[in-house]
Amino acid sequence: MKLLFLAHRIPYPPNKGDKIRSYHELRAFIERGHDVHLLAFADDLNDLSYQVELARWRLQVEIVPLRERRAKLRAAANLLGSRPLSLGYFASLKMRRLVKRVVAENDFDAVFVYSSTMAQYAPRDLASRTVVDLVDVDSEKWRDYSIRTEGLKSRLYAIEWKRLRKYEYEIVSRFAGAVVTTRREAALLDELDEFTRRARLHVITNGVDLDYFQPADQQMESFPPRLVFTGVMDYYANVEGVRYFIEEIFPLIRAREPRAEFFIVGSKPADEVKTLGLRDGVTVTGFVEDVRPYLNSATVCVMPLRIARGVQNKALEAMASGKAIVATPEAVAGLRVVNDEHLLVAGDPQSFAEAVVEVIRDERLRLRLGNRARVFVETEHDWKPVLQKLTQLVEAIGSRETQSGGTNIRAIANR
């Protein structure tokens, strides 16, 4: 099968949430023997160098630089219209021309679009053979942000929430298939008619690399007790989560475990996160080449997120590493986990702190939670069956159109 793959960020290296999923999806299509043509943006200009690495994967790849300042201006310009601001952010005449050229030069059997912001580039004439991975229902993220913030930011987030939700409905209605990561996300698109939901909306969860993330010897756990949070640290939900933890939960923990340490592990720490790192017992690492040593050294992994959508990669990676986890209900709402079996769930500062202290003091509890967490991800989130479901969906849509005598794509593009 000849496949056009569109992504809003270059899917390499797999070092942050959206790149992890797109990376594994891209690899799955290639490993199935498909001829893939990748078009993607690079919002970090350092990522342009990875074009050479990707070219070794037996695929054609073309990357378009995305300059942040210009992207923000384009997003602001969309305020005057009715389109989502995020579509303006990722709007590019160069990308539009590139898509048109490669479609004219190739007879693609199918188109795979990663993220709602790239659906604007999927040729309308190819809608019947296009699958869009919405990943999470991003509009709900902006809705959450509008609730958590105030003033102008809150109003802007509310505008984006309403516009993007409408656009998400259009995506599911227009294209042959759309994908989300959880039934919780699918339920948010509640205005779709029953036929459209059943025929076009598919739930395909996230996976985790079970070979890369593995339990280490328990002796690697640190003393004094080490609490670890992982994530990209200029992302608002992560920033808000660690602020909540440090201000409202960590003091309660240290009152009972004075030597406890909190490690914030992740790239691009915002200024607010760096300031939080000045507090006693808190360490902000910034970018690390390999997150596994920090996971392996953790006494407990904490996930104090109050804004969370879909399936959190940080949760899957900690569970695959066999670590005991304490999380808010929001952080694990996308997982089919059971409290006190796979991890501990706590919805307020006092109960969260008590759960962390319990895990610190009870080695048998740590081992039990960690072992069951590993079994859970082996059963539910192994990438191989997850990606088989995705590739079969795209292959079925591509072959269905071909078998029905679909119009030649190159002829369409050259009209």
CATH number at residue 270: 3.40.50.2000
- Select from 211, 213, 218 the least CA-distant residue to 367: 218
pLDDT at 414 over 60: no
| Domain extent at residue 392 | 2-207+382-413
Residues 281 and 395 in one domain: no
Residues 203 and 233 in one domain: no
Region 303-324: what's the mean pLDDT? 96
Confidence label for 215 from pLDDT (cuts 50, 70 and 90): very high
Supply the pLDDT for residue 72: 95
Supply the pLDDT for residue 221: 62
Distance of alpha carbon 127 from alpha carbon 405, whole angstroms: 15
Mean pLDDT (the chain) is 93
Distance of alpha carbon 136 from alpha carbon 184, whole angstroms: 10
pLDDT digits (tens, 9 = 90+) for 14-48: 988 889 999 999 999 999 999 999 999 998 888 88
Q: 264-303 in b/e burial notation, b at 16+ Cβ within 10 A? A: bbbeebbeebeebbeeebbebbeeeeebbebbbebbbbbb
Residues 409 and 299 in one domain: no
pLDDT digits (tens, 9 = 90+) for 118-127: 999 999 999 9
pLDDT digits (tens, 9 = 90+) for 121-169: 999 999 999 999 999 999 999 999 999 999 999 999 999 999 999 999 9
Q: How many domains does the chain have?
A: 2
Please state the pTM of the whole predicted model: 0.91
Region 264-276: what's the mean pLDDT? 97
Q: Which two tokens stand for residue 359?
A: 């895990």
Residues 315 and 406 in one domain: no
Supply the pLDDT for residue 119: 98
Matching residue, tokens 């305020």: 79
pLDDT at 75 over 50: yes
Classify strands 60-65 and 35-42 as parallel, antiparallel or unpaired. Answer: parallel
| Structural domain contains residue 37 | yes
pLDDT at 255 over 50: yes
Supply the pLDDT for residue 9: 95
Residues 34 and 99 in one domain: yes
pLDDT at 409 over 50: no
Alpha-helical segments (H) within 235-326: 236-244, 250-256, 271-276, 292-297, 313-320
Confidence label for 408 from pLDDT (cuts 50, 70 and 90): very low
Supply the pLDDT for residue 266: 96
Share of the chain above pLDDT 70, in %: 95
